[in-house]
Chains A and B, each alone.
Chain A
Amino acid sequence: MGTQVKDVVIKSDAPSALLLDKHADYIAAYGSKKDDYEYTLSEYLRMSGIYWGLTVMDLMGQLTRMNQQEISDFIKSCQHDCGGVSASIGHDPHVLYTLSAVQILSLYDNVNVLDVDKVVEYVRGLQQEDGSFAGDKWGEIDTRFSFCAVATLALLGRLDAINVDKAVEFVLSCMNFDGGFGCRPGSESHAGQIYCCTGFLSIAGQLHQVNADLLGWWLCERQLPSGGLNGRPEKLPDVCYSWWVLASLKIIGRIHWIDKSKLRSFILACQDEETGGFADRPGDMVDPFHTLFGVAGLSLLGEGQIKDVNPVLCMPEDVLERLGLHPDLLS
């Protein structure tokens, strides 16, 4: 009985070797190419773009190729009076870019470029009565922002600034009948949101509240015949889910439920042999976002040439080691 499964087919000539040098060159040169309309368009997320680029370079042992001083100066110019950090100069602050800024500065062991107390104040101010977090003053609520809030504070050693119990209560209220999590209570389970929620629960020390077998099953169901992972049922695979799904599985202690060799083949097939970098799926255009998550996914799969990545914060383990941060993982 034939079944139409939504999936991709990996061509026989797809890349099968890891091309780390090409990826490092791609990231190092990103933004300096002439026809970078895409770079212009992505200014509204520049801080996260820098975080993706630096993190993947660090994972590949190539962080020194990036300009630390310029980036630190840039970040300093992005902190607003309210304490929050914006994606770029002249943009409005948001918790997403506040986290990215703190992550970048943690890589450089230089968080005091920012007024840390004001960052903490800003994050604290985003917590709502029901424990949820808004992204900014306009009030969009999403479990992504719960994660950003606690991750930011954990990196600064200031988790006590918020009401953690209430925050946990809200995130748990987003747990669905299938064991997954969505962006708000009742929202469809989605791998990206699941990563944020399991990451959140890890930082909050509440992973025991997860139904690990049920969620682990839902997560390993993401794997398609091509080996790639999708984000929810009946969707195409995307290399960024190699991160969201895999990191979640690692956090809840069930990463071995994925067929690792098939996933590895899929991730490698998403590389572009000419330009370097990874695309969402084989043959598509590359970008720094998918490049980070392809490399980070490979790290979780045990790739020797890549540094160990922490599944909760998506940062090199040695950076967290230095900070003394060891978020919980289930076994």
Chain B
Amino acid sequence: MTSMSAITQTSDFTNKAALIPLATERPAYYRMSGIEETSNVSSEFQEERSEEEVEEEIGYEDPFRYVFYRDRKEWADLEPVPQDDGPNPVVKIAYSDKFTDVYDYFRALLKNDEKSDRALLLTAEAIELNAANYTVWHYRRVLLQALEKDLREEMRYITTIIEDQPKNYQVWHHRRMVVEWLNDPSEELEFIAEILSQDAKNYHAWQHRQWVIKEYKLWDSELEYVEQLLEEDVRNNSAWNQRHYIISHTTGYSDPAILNREVQYSLKQIKKAPHNESVWNYLKGILQDLGLSSHPGLLEQILELKETHCSPYLLGFLVDIYEDFLENTLEHHEEVLSKALELCELLAREKDTIRREYWSYVGRSLQTKYGSSDSSTTTSAPGIDPGSASGSVHQETPCSS
């Protein structure tokens, strides 16, 4: 949906529009930058008009400015095509006059398959009224190709549109097509960064960014960019996803030095903001193939964090580490299982009650898979020396976050 304010003009408006003398007629619809203007008007008037081009709405600040297509003599050769809602429209639909006017003429152009500059201009106006209309965008692309228009100009155009309406599939897809036609991504990273500075999680912007980077191999400074975004908002899930994307496609995570770098980076971010879904998902994501319990020193670091930066995520992560430990080692099962079950119970009962069903499930699964035939889970196995355990199984104080 566009954010256009409701247009409520009626016949009163039409009358005013018709009063504009032809000699000084300067249709306000000529407002997009770079569009050629047929001008026989004095420069003094042009200056006056160019100020009005700054207005958000087409000609709406001054009702004398806008002229309907049906009243423009240079469009008189076209028969407007009214909206067709089907053979037996039951519903009577009220449209704004201007919307009706523009789209009646758009349909006329489509019907005649007209390929002209005025058609291109009209698509801009139709887009302004409804940038989600994919048929208008299609037609515009057909025109751009048929008329062999300057695609650099089109880049300027689509830049303006996206800045105005950044959450729309069509505008981004259009931009991608133009970039492909030009085979020139040189403006993209900066442009996308600009859009992301307004909304750092814009899903469309991120898709476009990933495409540009992969297609044109622009990996080099992306990790730096991601770190900058995470500095600004460590909870930006899109940025964490991008981090994974970049590293996966460049160095990968198989080098232990890189993996450890990422683990330490994540732990550092956790200290800054412990209640952060994204970083915990990331940490788990990069370690799960190798196994959470296999990373040297990780359990100790997590247990340390538990004292000062606890969260339901941390507790859940601990459960995951213990589970991985149980899966990959044969020693100390009962103690580790006991710890894990205790945490599941704590999460279900107190720390993450909205997901109690999940935590109960995890506890039951662990019990089923690793529990001994003796139903008691609190007996410590004889002969265990906690100090020799690779994982820490000493008694922990409950998290007090």
Given known A-B contacts A90-B107, A220-B355, A40 and B90 have beta carbons under 8 A apart: no
From the candidates B90, B132, B358, name the one contacting A70 in the complex (CB within 8 A): B90
- Report the separation of the CA atoms of residues A37 and B138 in the bound assembly, to the nearest whole angstrom: 23
Could you say which residues of chain B place their CB within 8 Å of the CB of A5? 275
Given known A-B contacts A176-B241, A184-B207, A234-B278, A256 and B134 have beta carbons under 8 A apart: no
Could you say which residues of chain B place their CB within 8 Å of the CB of A39? 93
- Report the separation of the CA atoms of residues A298 and B243 in the bound assembly, to the nearest whole angstrom: 37
Could you say which residues of chain B place their CB within 8 Å of the CB of A33? 94
Q: Is the CB of B141 within 8 A of A232?
A: no
Q: Considering the complex, which residues of chain B in the window 75-93 have a beta carbon less than 8 Å from any beta carbon of chain A?
A: 81, 83-93
B354 at the A interface (CB under 8 A): yes
Q: Considering the complex, which residues of chain A in the window 124-139 have a beta carbon less than 8 Å from any beta carbon of chain B?
A: 136, 138
**Which residues of A are interface residues toward B (Cβ below 8 A)?**
1, 3, 5, 31-45, 67, 69-70, 73-74, 77, 86-92, 94, 136, 138, 140, 176-178, 182-184, 186-190, 216-218, 220-221, 223, 225, 227, 232-235, 254, 256-259, 262
**Chain B interface mostly:** helix
Could you say which residues of chain B place their CB within 8 Å of the CB of A225? 354
From the candidates A89, A223, A232, name the one contacting B354 in the complex (CB within 8 A): A223
Could you say which residues of chain B place their CB within 8 Å of the CB of A88? 85
**One of B14-22, B41-49, B279-287 contacting the partner:** B279-287
B122 shortest CB reach to chain A, Å: 15
Q: Is the CB of B86 within 8 A of A73?
A: yes
Would you list 30 pairs from A and B whose C-beta atoms are within 8 A, ordered by A residue? A33-B94, A35-B94, A40-B95, A40-B96, A41-B130, A43-B133, A44-B130, A44-B132, A44-B133, A74-B86, A74-B87, A90-B107, A138-B138, A138-B141, A176-B285, A178-B282, A178-B284, A186-B210, A186-B248, A217-B358, A218-B281, A220-B358, A221-B355, A223-B355, A235-B201, A256-B357, A257-B355, A259-B353, A259-B354, A262-B354
- Report the separation of the CA atoms of residues A182 and B278 in the bound assembly, to the nearest whole angstrom: 15
Q: Is the CB of B93 within 8 A of A177?
A: no
B60 at the A interface (CB under 8 A): no
B370 at the A interface (CB under 8 A): no
Q: Is the CB of A70 within 8 A of B88?
A: yes
A97 shortest CB reach to chain B, Å: 10
Given known A-B contacts A67-B90, A234-B235, A259-B354, A92 and B135 have beta carbons under 8 A apart: yes
Given known A-B contacts A92-B134, A92-B138, A34 and B354 have beta carbons under 8 A apart: no
**Chain A interface mostly:** loop
Q: Is the CB of A233 within 8 A of B235?
A: yes
Could you say which residues of chain A place their CB within 8 Å of the CB of B282? 177-178
Could you say which residues of chain A place their CB within 8 Å of the CB of B201? 232, 234-235
Could you say which residues of chain A place their CB within 8 Å of the CB of B4? 41
Q: Is the CB of A234 within 8 A of B90?
A: no
Q: Is the CB of A32 within 8 A of B206?
A: no
B277 shortest CB reach to chain A, Å: 4
Q: Which 4 A-B pairs have the closest CB atoms?
A: A177-B285, A74-B86, A188-B241, A233-B277
Given known A-B contacts A32-B92, A187-B210, A74 and B134 have beta carbons under 8 A apart: no
From the candidates A44, A67, A188, A217, name the one contacting B134 in the complex (CB within 8 A): A44
Q: Residue of A at shortest CB range from B89? A: A70
Given known A-B contacts A70-B90, A223-B355, A234 and B277 have beta carbons under 8 A apart: yes
- Report the separation of the CA atoms of residues A33 and B206 in the bound assembly, to the nearest whole angstrom: 38
Q: Residue of B at shortest CB range from A223? A: B354
Q: Is the CB of B173 within 8 A of A90?
A: no
Q: Is the CB of B6 within 8 A of A90?
A: no
Q: Is the CB of A38 within 8 A of B236?
A: no
Q: Residue of A at shortest CB range from B281? A: A178
From the candidates B6, B130, B169, B237, name the one contacting A233 in the complex (CB within 8 A): B237
Q: Is the CB of B1 within 8 A of A38?
A: yes
Q: Is the CB of B210 within 8 A of A233?
A: no
Could you say which residues of chain A place their CB within 8 Å of the CB of B138? 92, 136, 138
